[in-house]
A and B are shown apart, each in its own frame.
Chain A
Amino acid sequence: MSEFLSPKDLPAALAARAAHPDYIPVAGGTDYMVASKDRLPPPGIINLFGLGALTGVTDLDGGGVRIGACTTYATLLGDARIANTFPLLRDACREVGASQIQARGTLGGNIATSSPVGDSLPPLLALDAVICVASSAGERRVAYEDFLVGYRKIDLAADELIVAIELPAPHVGAMQHWRKVGTRRAQSISKVMMAAVAHLDDGRIADIRIALGAVADRTVRARATEDALRGSAPSEEAAKRAREALRGEITPIDDLRSTAEYRLGVAENLVRRFVLSL
């Protein structure tokens, strides 16, 4: 017998998680149901979809937002705050799946699956997201970059759930930019994603955050590239320095050399175009 639990609130969900570390939490099911196809039934499921405490977008002091882990793409796409303040995330969500996937797929599910080609991940990284995680023992907050620990691996214990994603308000006048090259079907060869946020001060790049998807085992910040750009005017010359820095910090995977070279080339072009657009 495979048990199906629908906890009524967050404490009940966390208690279920603590009591049954082998049960699978399921939100929209759009990753889980594909992965579990033609497998034996799971020992149990902890259903999270629609749980009030995990659903919806709320305002934070200072202009940021808190997004419940089980908030769907459809809800995010219908939210004016996301559209106005975080167009980067809106643009990425728009491209996820089709209507049916957007109606069920959740942000927390995308983060937990942590596919190197997950669409929401580069925007969350570039927007300095904080992941709020809870267990029966309490809540902790982790910078998203630290939450990503390996190929499809996140810093989540067997008794924890992702509760929410917090996005601080971007700097006034910051430019947000989302680009995805290649199709999902061809993802193993050609997909490269870039999310970038930057603002200028006196004609120079005061701050810049660049997150890349599908160029490494996990979504990564291009920190050396950012350092090479900070303080410069957005010129061809700065773009050239950024390109060299990017070559230095993204390591091609040996047995995928040609693919890695190709991806690096695409990533360089994406960064260059973003810099020149500033």
Chain B
Amino acid sequence: MNIEVTINGESRSIETEGHRRLLDVLREELGLVGTKEGCGEGECGACTVLMDGEPVNSCLVPVGQIQGTQLTTIEGMAGSDGLHIIQDTLVRYGGAQCGICTPGVALCAKWAVEKEPGASKERLRELLAGNICRCTGYQAIVDAVVAAQNSSESSHE
């Protein structure tokens, strides 16, 4: 089937079978290998991308379902003026170590901070519970997201 989709702001036309996992099409057909595979079963969040702004596990999306949607992968998170604030704080606070979970964490955190700008640490942990990290113990990730939250608050003032 032919799929028309906008990925990271760019219109793409993809010819593939609709039952395939979005994750595989991103990595194998489009060269967007920033999206990682962990469990392949929806448990770990390493494959998270934003679909029409919502975080989804790309290992669970049959690619036919992206027809006409807007996708953001980790490749589209940084702007022309550098890293997204969440990418920046993840680096600065040690929220990224081996890096396997990081693309998914960064995208899910971006969604969480935009959806609930005033979310408490506890609530942030809940919103990010679908992103498993074996390295950081999560504290550094939460600290990074809180720092990003605070700095985007101050930039709105």
Contact = CB atoms under 8 A, between A and B. Distances in A.
A99 B129 contact: yes
Contacts of A45: 18-19, 62, 64
- Central interface residue in A1, A45, A100, by most chain B CB within 10 Å: A100
Interface stretch (B25-33, B50-58, B71-79, B148-156): B50-58
Interface string B31-52: 0000000001110010010010
Given A2-B18, A4-B17, A34-B41, A98 B130 contact: yes
A26 interface: yes
Nearest to B128: A99
Given A99-B111, A100-B42, A33 B54 contact: no
B67 to A, nearest CB: 6
Contacts of A104: 56-57, 60-61
A6 B48 CA distance: 23
B112 interface: yes
Contact of A4 (B45, B64, B127, B128): B64
8 smallest CB-CB distances across A and B, nearest first, come from A4-B18, A98-B130, A4-B64, A103-B54, A33-B60, A98-B129, A100-B130, A100-B57
24 contacts: A2-B18, A3-B18, A4-B1, A26-B62, A29-B60, A29-B65, A30-B42, A30-B60, A33-B60, A34-B41, A36-B19, A37-B40, A45-B64, A47-B64, A47-B65, A49-B65, A97-B42, A98-B129, A99-B130, A100-B57, A100-B60, A101-B130, A103-B56, A104-B57
